[in-house]
Amino acid sequence: MVFLWFLDGDEGAVTVDWVVLTAALVGFGIGTTAAVRGGV
């Protein structure tokens, strides 16, 4: 329920939180790709 409220929120702080979380996920994805690409 909290996650749905988070997605429906129109407040600026919620938008900033969403951008930060998305950027963190992209960063982890890039880091994982770089690690796997270089060899285990």
Spans of all domains in the chain: 2-38
Full-model pTM: 0.59
Q: Left, alpha or beta for 11 (phi > 0: left; psi -120 to 50: alpha)? A: beta
Looking at residue 36, its pLDDT comes to 93
17, 9 in Cβ contact below 8 A? no
Rounded CA-CA distance 8/6 in Å is 6
- 13 three-class SS: helix
Per-residue pLDDT averaged across 19-40, rounded? 91
pLDDT tens digit sequence for 3-28: 777 667 666 777 788 899 999 999 99
- CB count within 10 Å of CB 34 equals 9
